[in-house]
Structure 1
């Protein structure tokens, strides 16, 4: 009959604490600025500047995630306009938004999410539940979670 050491049981308890208390859903932003595919690049640029954000999710009328638009996507449109020697057009963002979207599970532990950020080199991940956009987690949100984790578990 095996005997668990006190340290072993304590370590397991800490792992459970991490997984229960420090989920992506606990640190995600729920009040999101979203965009529609038919909005113009100029509208998006104005919103990004006004709200001091670097991008955001694009949703349809059912709040289903269909893309992500970023500063870089808008810059691409500006660059193309210059190449064709035309002013920034009234093109919709649908042409420029990223459609190959990686999402993250809201139940994922924030430490595992940090690894996913490192592996993907993304700045933000949308969280989708039952096909609907429910939030977004950014690298900054992970840093905030890390500070709370440090106070509880790191030595």
Structure 2
């Protein structure tokens, strides 16, 4: 599997002359760990991360001589580690572990075409049934709180609920609740 198979696109970016506060808004509102800083041709010239933004805010707070109206270019990291669309995902994961980076821009012929985050690297490890099962279990746990009375597994979009029921109306309610979870096509009860 290569970077092009898992990368996120389009990429939210910023420019070196953008106000730092605009980049902070993009980081926080988008839930991004970092933003590539690009030039007019979409070549990556830097990277701004949450850590960079926090560091810049602390500098302003502790050093009155630091101007509060800084630009992205004032605080961005450079040079930037990048990968190509053909970089193996295992190599990307290793770079993330070794270099402690949370995201890597993907460039093709020098131009930004995507970005790979830690979440992108993890996503192929999770099967859709696992995701659905996690949501089903959360619904069941919320309904039976504070005790976990039932367990759920999902295979081929069929939820199997195991556990004891007080009566058949409770069983029917649980089946109805599980049917509300997106991705569940059918529900079986065992126990």
TM superposition score category, shorter chain reference: 0.7 to 0.9
Match of 1:128 in 2: 107
Relative to the length of structure 1, the TM-score reads 0.75
Task: Flag the 1:119–1:87 CA change in 2: closer, same or farther, 3 A.
Answer: closer
Is 2:90 the partner of 1:95?
no
Question: Contact 2:33–2:102 (CA<8 Å) still a contact in 1?
Answer: no
Match of 1:50 in 2: 29
Is 2:49 the partner of 1:70?
yes
State the 4+ residue runs in structure 1 displaced beyond 6 angstroms. none
Counterpart of 1:145 (choices 124, 144, 149) is 124
Q: In structure 1, how many angstroms separate the alpha carbons of the residues matched to 2:115 and 2:96?
A: 13
Aligned-pair CA distance for 1:47: 1.6
Task: Flag the 1:40–1:128 CA change in 2: closer, same or farther, 3 A.
Answer: same
- What value does the CA root-mean-square deviation take over the aligned residues? 1.7
Structure 2 residue runs of 5 or longer lacking an equivalent are 128-191
Choose 1 or 2 for highest CA Rg: 2
Is 2:58 the partner of 1:82?
no
Question: Contact 1:78–1:88 (CA<8 Å) still a contact in 2?
Answer: no
Question: Contact 1:57–1:65 (CA<8 Å) still a contact in 2?
Answer: yes
Match of 1:13 in 2: none
Aligned-pair CA distance for 1:88: 6.7
By relative contact order (CA 8 Å, sep 6+), the higher-ranking structure is 1
Question: Contact 1:77–1:88 (CA<8 Å) still a contact in 2?
Answer: no
Q: Secondary structure at the match of 1:128?
A: strand
Q: In structure 2, how many angstroms separate the alpha carbons of the residues matched to 1:119 and 1:145?
A: 21
Count of residues paired in the alignment: 127
Normalized per residue, the structure richer in strand is 2
Is 2:91 the partner of 1:112?
yes
Task: Flag the 1:31–1:83 CA change in 2: closer, same or farther, 3 A.
Answer: same
Counterpart of 1:60 (choices 33, 39, 53) is 39
Structure 1 residue runs of 5 or longer lacking an equivalent are 1-21, 149-155
